Amino acid sequence: MILTPENDKNLILTLVEFSYAEYGSALEMLRASKMVKSPNLKMGYIDHAIDEYRHTELIYQVIRNQILDNEISDLTRLQFKPLNVILKGYIDKDGFLIEKLRLKNFVEFVYSNEFLAKISFDKLKLRVNDRESLNIISGIMEEEQEHADNSIETLNDIMKDEQKHWGYAKKYYESKYPKSKLKLAFTREKIKNRLRLVYLKNFKFLSNIFDPLINLLILIFGPITSLIRLPKDTKNIIHNNYDSII
């Protein structure tokens, strides 16, 4: 659900980022399926997760097609490594979205990001040349649109559940949903993604600032580390001091 730079010159690297974004989405949806109680909602999120997993695989198919047309020196960095979904920040281990947001806000988030993803894939399509890859991306786009549409239906279902379980008033729903709130959520997500984009674009600039600071730290503390002697173990090793971090 996190979008990547729209104007990235390196198409393949952009596609790799897309695949992690889709993978992150799959994990969020799967987590959501475990947190909701309604069997229908559970199933809806499981099906959504399956689509996102498939998108990850399909994007890799596009990547493989693109590699045939490009000379890439270090292919290992393009390998799909699940751990990168955490390292690259596509999921936040401090809490999945379903745990951080209320269910209603979570669905708003899904709606907005599926719609934004569709827009990004639209732009990506312009930069892919081969027919097979174009077909794959078109297929993904249709499903993203479907997920956005389903989110509105899901919102209706949730409101029914919320009325039942948490006592939300029907009047509240009818006065606030679906148009105005969704539009607001969409704008909010769009701004967030723009900010993310600004951050990514300036990442190199930020590195230029922080790298010398890290270097300075190493030059100060590096010599100190070489002076530290690690404590020796006792003969019966279980009598060592295990309150200490060293």
Site string for another protein, 11-40 (x = CB under 8 A): ----------------x--xx-xx----x-
Q: Closer to another protein at the Cβ: 86 or 119?
A: 86
- Given a contact cutoff of 8 angstroms between Cβ atoms, the answer to whether 63 and 78 are in contact is yes
Q: Closer to another protein at the Cβ: 64 or 100?
A: 64
Q: Does residue 64 touch another protein according to CB under 8 A?
A: yes
Rounded distance, CA 213 to CA 194, Å? 28
Q: Report the residue from 3, 63, 140, 159 that binds another protein according to the rule CB under 8 A.
A: 63
C-alpha 82, offset from chain centre:
12
Q: Does residue 243 touch another protein according to CB under 8 A?
A: yes
- Measure the CA angle with vertex 56, ends 45 and 147; round to 5°: 35
Residue 4, classed as helix, strand or coil, is coil
Scanning 3-11, 52-60, 101-109, 119-127 for contacts with another protein by CB under 8 A, the matching segment is: 52-60
Q: How far is the CB of 96 from another protein (least distance, A)?
A: 8
- Measure the CA angle with vertex 134, ends 18 and 191; round to 5°: 40
Q: Does residue 70 touch another protein according to CB under 8 A?
A: no
Q: How far is the CB of 224 from another protein (least distance, A)?
A: 10
Q: Is the peptide bond before 178 cis (omega within 30 degrees of 0)?
A: yes
Up-side HSE of residue 107: CA atoms within 13 Å toward CB?
22
Scanning 110-118, 136-144, 166-174, 214-222 for contacts with another protein by CB under 8 A, the matching segment is: 214-222
- Measure the CA angle with vertex 54, ends 50 and 58; round to 5°: 170
- Measure the CA angle with vertex 13, ends 9 and 15; round to 5°: 105
Scanning 106-114, 117-125, 156-164, 218-226 for contacts with another protein by CB under 8 A, the matching segment is: 218-226
Rounded distance, CA 111 to CA 108, Å? 5
Q: Does residue 242 touch another protein according to CB under 8 A?
A: yes
Rounded distance, CA 20 to CA 10, Å? 16
Q: Does residue 214 touch another protein according to CB under 8 A?
A: yes
Q: Summarize as ranges the residues that interact with another protein (CB under 8 A).
A: 27, 30-31, 33-34, 39, 42-43, 46-47, 49-50, 53-54, 60, 63-64, 67, 74-76, 78-83, 85-86, 91, 93-94, 214-215, 217-219, 221-222, 225-226, 228, 230, 233, 235-238, 240, 242-246
